Chain A
Amino acid sequence: MKVPSWSIAMLATLFIAGFAELAIGLYNVQVVNAGEYKRDLTHQATRRVRKPGIRGRILDSKGGVLAESRARRDIVCDLAVFRKNGSISNTVAAVEEEIVRLAGALGVDRPESITPRRIVRHIRTASAIPMCVWRDLDESTLARFEERAAAFTGFSVESHAERHYPRGSFAAHLIGYTGRDRDTSDPEEAYMLAYELEMKGRSGLEKYYDDYLAGVSGTVRIPVDARGFKPVESTSGNISLEETQERDAQNGLDLHLTIDPDIQAVAERQFEGVRGACVALDPRDGAVLAMVSAPAFDLNEFVPFLSTKKYKALSEDPGRPLLNRATAGLYIPGSTFKPVTAIAALNSGFKAHDDYECTGVYKLGTMRLRCWSRWGQGHLNMRGAIEQSCNPYFARLGYLVGSNTLFRTAREFGFNAKTGIDFAPDYAGSLASPPFYPGLVSQSAIGQGRLQVTPLQVAMECAALANGGKVYTPYLKKRPEGSPPPEPVRRLTCRPEDIETVRRGMRDVVEGVRGTGKALGGLTVPCAGKTGTAQIGNGMKDTWVIAFAPYDNPTIAIALVVERGESGGKTAAPRVHNILASIFGEKEGR
C-alpha cells in the first residue's frame, strides 16, 4: 500500500504529542500560575473606592463646638444608567439631556462645571462611582427632588461630610483650617477612586492633630467592567467579584481643648482695630486658656476650599491675618523681660535691697541708655526698679551679671527654644545674634538688644513667676479626667525668696503709687504684672503686659502684646484688665 499503517501510527503519535503539549501548557496556566492570573484579574477588574471617616470635632473646655463636620448633600448621577452603545458622545449627550431636564424640574440652574469634557473625564477615570452634579443643596431643593426622584432614574442624593466652624473667626489661628488632598502615600492610588478627596489639616490644630481628628478611611472594592463601569445587576449576576468592604471607615476622635471660651472671647474683643496677640496660661499646669492672634479670618471661607481671590487678599493683607502671632510672631519683649534679668542678678549674688540712684541715663563706654523718666527716678532698690521699670537700673544689672548668666536664666524660663506645645508653628525665637557689640548685654537686660520672643514664651515666663519658679510645657489638648497633674519640665535655679522679691515688685507695678501698670488694678482679687514698651525702630513701639492673678495663688498668667501702641501701661494694661475683670470681677466703686 502507498499509505502504510505505520505512517498513520506516526501521525497518531504526533497528535498525542501535540495534545500533551497543550495539556502541559494549560496545566501551567490553570494550575501552576492560576494565582497570578487571578491577581491580574482582581487588579484590572476592581477599583478601590475610598470613603473617609467623619472628622472629629474640636471643642473648648466647656464643651462648646469650635469645629464640626456637617452633612453636605449633593445630587449625583450614576453614568452607567445612561450608557449607550457606540461613541462615548452618545452617552455624554444622554447624560446632559437628563441633567437639563432635571434642572428644569428642580428650578435650578444647570451647573456650569458639568461640561461635556467633564462628563467624558468622569467616564474615563471614575465611571464606577457616581458623578456629583449639584453640590450642597438646600432642603427645599432636595425636597423637590425627592418628590420627582422616581422620574429621574440614575440620579440620587448623596451625603458627604463638610467642615463647619460654628463660630466663624473665633480662635481661627488656633483651630486652623483644612484642605482636600490625594493620599499619595498609598501605592494603589492609581487604582483608587474617591467620592471625595481626603480632608487634610493645613494649619493650626487641624494640622497638628490631623491623624487624631481624621480617623481612618474605609475602602470598598467594587467590580468594574472593561470600560470601567460598575456592572449593572442584570448582566453581572452572581459573580464572585462582589462589592466588598475591605476596611470600615473609622470616624475621627473629638478633640477637647483647654481653651476657656469666655476668656478667649473677651481676649479677642480686646483687639478690635489693632494687631497683636494674647496668650493666657494656667500657671498651675501650663494649660493654655486662651490664644489670640489679631487680625483673624473667617474659617468658613476655607470650606470647601479657599478661592484664589480670597487667598490672594488674605496673603497680601498688610496686617498678615494668616500669621499666628501668638506662636509665630517674633517680638522684642521690652520691659516684660526685666523680671528675668532680676532673677539672673539675684542668682549671681546681687542683693535686692541694694540702693541705686537713677539719674535718668546709664552710661557705658560711649553708650547712653536713657530712662523713660527724663530726670531720673532717684534712689531705688529692686522692688522699686521693677515697679517703675527703671532702665538704667536693669541695664547696670545686665552689665554686672554678664551675658552668660543672663541668657542662661532666660533659657530656663523657656526663651530661645521651642516651647514644646502641642501646636505648630512653635517658634524658638532668639536671644542674641551677631554682630555683638559692647552694651548688648545691657540692652538685652532691659528687653531690647536682639531679643526675639513669641507671646507664648512671654506667657510662660509670666506663668513661671506666678507659680514660684516652675516651668511647664504649655498644652492645648485637655488631659483625660483623673490623669496625674503634669510635672514641670524644670524649676528655675533660684531661691524662693528671690522669686518672691520679683513678684512683690510686680505687685507694686499694679498697686504701687508710681507703678507703671496701675490700669491692671481694681479687681476683686490682687493681681501682679509688668508692663513693657518695646522700641522697634523708627519711633514705633510694641506694647506689652504680663500679668497673673490672684496674687497669692495664681490661676491665670497672661501675656498680651499690641503692635504700634503708645505704651504698655496705656495700651496693653487696660486690655489685660478687661480680661481679668471678666474672670474675677471688678471692685465696687472704681
Chain B
Amino acid sequence: MLGRILKFNWFSFLSMVALAVIGVIFIKSAGEARTITALHDAWRVHAATALFGLIVYFTLAFIDYRKILDLFTTPYFLISLIMLVAVLAFGSKVYGGKRWLWFFQPSEIAKPAVILMLAKMLGRTDRPTNGFLDLMKGVGIVAVPALLILAEPDMGTALVLVPTALAMLLCARVCLKVLIPLLVAGALSAGLVLGAVHKAETTTDPELKEKIYKYLPLKEHQRARLRTFLNPEADPYGSGWNLRQSMISIGNGSLSGKGIGKGEQKKLQYLPPSVSMNDFIFCVLAEETGFTGSAVMLSLFLVLLLSGLWTAVRSNDDRGRLVAIGVMTLVFVHIYINIAMSIGLMPITGLPLPFISAGKTFLVTLLAALGIVQSISLHREEKI
C-alpha cells in the first residue's frame, strides 16, 4: 500500500483536480449571463461529470494498464470506429455538423482509442524496431477515425489526432527516413495552402481568386477563418467578430483581472454567449483573473504535462511510455490550439480547453486517459 502511495503521481492528480475546479468556477461565471436554466447551471453538470470522471480515473488507475492494452484496446478501437460510422448515419445535427450520438460525442471517445491502439501496435515487444510497414499501419490507425471525424465534419478534432500520432511515431522512431521527409512535405503544403489563401484574398483579380479556390478543398467558413487569421482587421463585425471580442476580453483583463464574475465583455455579451463556456472559456478566465490568472492556469497545465511525461520516463515499458506520450501530447495540443487561437496566433478552430471548457464527453475521456497514465505510474517496475 505504501508503495502504491509512493508511486502515485500526485503532481499529475492534484494539478488535474485544480484545473477541473477552475473549470467549474468559470463555467459558473460564464453561465451567469445566460437566462436558460440549463446553461445557467452548467457548472453543476461540469462538477458532477468531473466527480463521475474521477471514479473512472481511479478505476482505470488501479487496473494494470497492460491488461487494458492487451484485452480492451482492440475492441475499444473497433467500437469507436462503429460509433463514428453510426454518428454519420444517425447522429443529431448541431451547428451544421453531425457530432452527437445520444448524449455523447463519439469523436471524443475515439481520441484515446487511437492513442491506445497506436501504443499497442508500436510498442510490441516481439520486434526491436519499427519499420516502414509499422509506419503504414500507424498512419492507418490514425487516418481511418480521422477521416470519419472529418466527414462529420469536425476538422478541429480530426486535426488534433495528427500531432498526437506524430509525437508517438517520432518518439518511437518509426522509419524516420520516410517519416521525416513526409513531415517536411506536410509542413510545406500547409504553408502553401495558407500562402494561396493569402494570395486569393489580397489579389484584385477575381478570376485568379476563383481559380485558387477551385483547387483548394476549403469550405466557406474555413476560408473565412483563414481570412480572419491572416487579416483580423478585415471584417471585425462579421467573421472577425469572435476573434476581436476574444482579444478584447483577454486584453481587458490586463494584469490582475476584473474579478471573478465581473468580466464586462462576458456580461455585456460582446463575447458571444454561445461560445463563452465552451471553446472561448479561456477569454472569461483571462478577463476576470488577468495575466496573473492566465499564468497560474498555464503553470498548472505545465505541471500536469511534465508530470505525465515524467511518468513516461519512469516507465520501463515502451507501451506505457507511448500511452503517456500520446495522452500528454493530446492534452498539450488542445491547450495550445485553444489559447493560441483566442489571441490570434492560430486560425479559429473549435477545440475545447481541457478540464475547463464545458463538455461532458471530453472531460470524462480526459479523466479516463489520465487514469490510464496514473496506472502506468502505479504499475511501473522500478529500475534496478
Q: Do A and B bind each other?
A: yes
Tell me if A118 is interfacial: C-beta within 8 Å of chain B: no
Asked whether, in the complex, the Cβ of B345 is within 8 Å of the Cβ of A30, the reply is: no
Given contacts A7-B173, A239-B268, list 4 more A-B pairs with CB under 8 A. Answer: A34-B253, A45-B264, A227-B269, A240-B262
Report the nearest A residue to B36, measured CB to CB.
Answer: A85
The 8 nearest A-B residue pairs measured at CB: A37-B251, A34-B254, A30-B291, A225-B268, A7-B171, A226-B269, A3-B321, A226-B270
Tell me if A5 is interfacial: C-beta within 8 Å of chain B: yes
Q: Which of B17-25, B180-188, B298-306 sits within the interface?
A: B298-306
Report the nearest A residue to B124, measured CB to CB.
Answer: A2
Asked whether, in the complex, the Cβ of B306 is within 8 Å of the Cβ of A231, the reply is: no
> In the complex the two chains form, what is the Cα distance from A225 to B258 in whole Å?
17
Interface residues on B, range: 35 or more
Interface string of A214-234 (1 = CB under 8 A from B): 000000000111110001000
Q: With A11-B171, A45-B268, A223-B268 given, is the CB distance from A31 to B254 under 8 Å?
A: yes
Q: Which of A18-26, A188-196, A402-410 sits within the interface?
A: A18-26
Q: How far, in Å, is A241 (CB) from chain B's closest CB?
A: 6
- Pick the most buried of A31, A34, A37, A44: most chain B CB atoms within 10 A of its CB: A37
> In the complex the two chains form, what is the Cα distance from A25 to B345 in whole Å?
8
> In the complex the two chains form, what is the Cα distance from A15 to B328 in whole Å?
9
- Interface pairs (19), CB distance under 8 Å: A1-B321, A2-B128, A3-B318, A3-B325, A8-B321, A9-B313, A11-B171, A11-B328, A22-B335, A25-B345, A33-B251, A37-B252, A38-B254, A41-B264, A224-B268, A225-B268, A226-B269, A237-B261, A239-B262
Task: List, in ascending order, chain A residues with CB within 8 A of B254's CB.
Answer: 30-31, 34, 38
Asked whether, in the complex, the Cβ of A37 is within 8 Å of the Cβ of B250, the reply is: yes
Asked whether, in the complex, the Cβ of A2 is within 8 Å of the Cβ of B130, the reply is: yes
Task: List, in ascending order, chain B residues with CB within 8 A of A19's CB.
Answer: 298, 301-302
Task: List, in ascending order, chain A residues with CB within 8 A of B85's CB.
Answer: none
Tell me if B247 is interfacial: C-beta within 8 Å of chain A: yes
Asked whether, in the complex, the Cβ of A2 is within 8 Å of the Cβ of B286, the reply is: no
Tell me if B295 is interfacial: C-beta within 8 Å of chain A: yes
Report the nearest A residue to B311, measured CB to CB.
Answer: A8
Q: Which of B103-111, B136-144, B200-208, B336-344 sits within the interface?
A: B336-344
Interface string of B72-90 (1 = CB under 8 A from A): 0000000000000000000
Tell me if A584 is interfacial: C-beta within 8 Å of chain B: no
Asked whether, in the complex, the Cβ of A235 is within 8 Å of the Cβ of B33, the reply is: yes
> In the complex the two chains form, what is the Cα distance from A268 to B245 in whole Å?
66
Q: With A2-B130, A15-B306, A227-B269 given, is the CB distance from A34 to B255 under 8 Å?
A: yes
Tell me if A29 is interfacial: C-beta within 8 Å of chain B: yes
Q: How many residues of A contact B (CB 8 A)?
A: 47
Interface string of A324-361 (1 = CB under 8 A from B): 00000000000000000000000000000000000000
Task: List, in ascending order, chain A residues with CB within 8 A of B251's CB.
Answer: 29-30, 33-34, 36-38, 40-41
Q: Taking beta carbons and an 8 Å cutoff, which residues of A are in contact with B? A: 1-5, 7-9, 11-12, 15-16, 18-19, 21-23, 25-31, 33-34, 36-38, 40-41, 44-45, 85, 223-227, 231, 235-241
Asked whether, in the complex, the Cβ of B268 is within 8 Å of the Cβ of A12, the reply is: no
Task: List, in ascending order, chain A residues with CB within 8 A of B35's CB.
Answer: 85
Task: List, in ascending order, chain B residues with CB within 8 A of A235's CB.
Answer: 32-33, 267
Task: List, in ascending order, chain A residues with CB within 8 A of B295's CB.
Answer: 23, 26
Q: Choose from A16, A21, A26, A236 the contact partner of B291 (Cβ within 8 Å).
A: A26
Q: How far, in Å, is A579 (CB) from chain B's closest CB?
A: 67
Tell me if B371 is interfacial: C-beta within 8 Å of chain A: no
Task: List, in ascending order, chain B residues with CB within 8 A of A224's CB.
Answer: 268
Task: List, in ascending order, chain B residues with CB within 8 A of A44's CB.
Answer: 248, 270
Q: How far, in Å, is B217 (CB) from chain A's closest CB?
A: 28
Tell me if B332 is interfacial: C-beta within 8 Å of chain A: yes
Q: Choose from B130, B264, B291, B339 the contact partner of A27 (Cβ within 8 Å).
A: B291
Asked whether, in the complex, the Cβ of B248 is within 8 Å of the Cβ of A8, the reply is: no
Task: List, in ascending order, chain A residues with CB within 8 A of B172's CB.
Answer: 2-3
> In the complex the two chains form, what is the Cα distance from A7 to B169 in whole Å?
11
Q: How far, in Å, is B166 (CB) from chain A's closest CB?
A: 11
Task: List, in ascending order, chain B residues with CB within 8 A of A36's CB.
Answer: 251
Q: Choose from A3, A12, A23, A34 the contact partner of B252 (Cβ within 8 Å).
A: A34
Q: Taking beta carbons and an 8 Å cutoff, which residues of B are in contact with A? A: 32-33, 35, 122-123, 128-130, 167, 170-173, 244, 247-248, 250-255, 258, 261-262, 264-265, 267-270, 272, 286, 290-291, 294-295, 298, 301-302, 305-306, 309, 312-313, 316, 318, 321-322, 325, 328-329, 332, 335-336, 339-340, 343, 345
Task: List, in ascending order, chain A residues with CB within 8 A of B302's CB.
Answer: 15-16, 19
Report the nearest B residue to A46, measured CB to CB.
Answer: B268
Q: How far, in Å, is A558 (CB) from chain B's closest CB?
A: 66
Task: List, in ascending order, chain B residues with CB within 8 A of A25's CB.
Answer: 339-340, 343, 345
> In the complex the two chains form, what is the Cα distance from A317 to B167 in whole Å?
90
Asked whether, in the complex, the Cβ of A2 is within 8 Å of the Cβ of B173, the reply is: yes
Asked whether, in the complex, the Cβ of A3 is within 8 Å of the Cβ of B291, the reply is: no
> In the complex the two chains form, what is the Cα distance from A43 to B33 in whole Å?
21
Asked whether, in the complex, the Cβ of A237 is within 8 Å of the Cβ of B309, the reply is: no
Q: Choose from B255, B268, B318 the contact partner of A226 (Cβ within 8 Å).
A: B268
Report the nearest A residue to B293, measured CB to CB.
Answer: A30
> In the complex the two chains form, what is the Cα distance from A23 to B292 in whole Å?
11
Asked whether, in the complex, the Cβ of A225 is within 8 Å of the Cβ of B286, the reply is: no
> In the complex the two chains form, what is the Cα distance from A18 to B129 in whole Å?
30
Task: List, in ascending order, chain B residues with CB within 8 A of A12's CB.
Answer: 305-306, 309
> In the complex the two chains form, what is the Cα distance from A29 to B321 in whole Å?
37
Q: Choose from A2, A27, A231 the contact partner of B318 (Cβ within 8 Å).
A: A2
> In the complex the two chains form, what is the Cα distance from A41 to B263 in whole Å?
11
Q: Choose from A8, A223, A231 the contact partner of B312 (Cβ within 8 Å).
A: A8
Q: Choose from A11, A26, A40, A85 the contact partner of B309 (Cβ within 8 Å).
A: A11
Q: Choose from A22, A27, A34, A237 the contact partner of B267 (Cβ within 8 Å).
A: A237
> In the complex the two chains form, what is the Cα distance from A548 to B149 in whole Å?
102
Asked whether, in the complex, the Cβ of B267 is within 8 Å of the Cβ of A40, the reply is: no
Asked whether, in the complex, the Cβ of A21 is within 8 Å of the Cβ of B286, the reply is: no
Asked whether, in the complex, the Cβ of B173 is within 8 Å of the Cβ of A225, the reply is: no
Asked whether, in the complex, the Cβ of A26 is within 8 Å of the Cβ of B343, the reply is: yes
Asked whether, in the complex, the Cβ of A30 is within 8 Å of the Cβ of B247, the reply is: no
> In the complex the two chains form, what is the Cα distance from A1 to B343 in whole Å?
40
Task: List, in ascending order, chain A residues with CB within 8 A of B253's CB.
Answer: 30, 34
Report the nearest A residue to B324, measured CB to CB.
Answer: A8
Asked whether, in the complex, the Cβ of A37 is within 8 Å of the Cβ of B248, the reply is: yes
Task: List, in ascending order, chain A residues with CB within 8 A of B309's CB.
Answer: 8, 11-12, 15
Q: How far, in Å, is B262 (CB) from chain A's closest CB?
A: 6
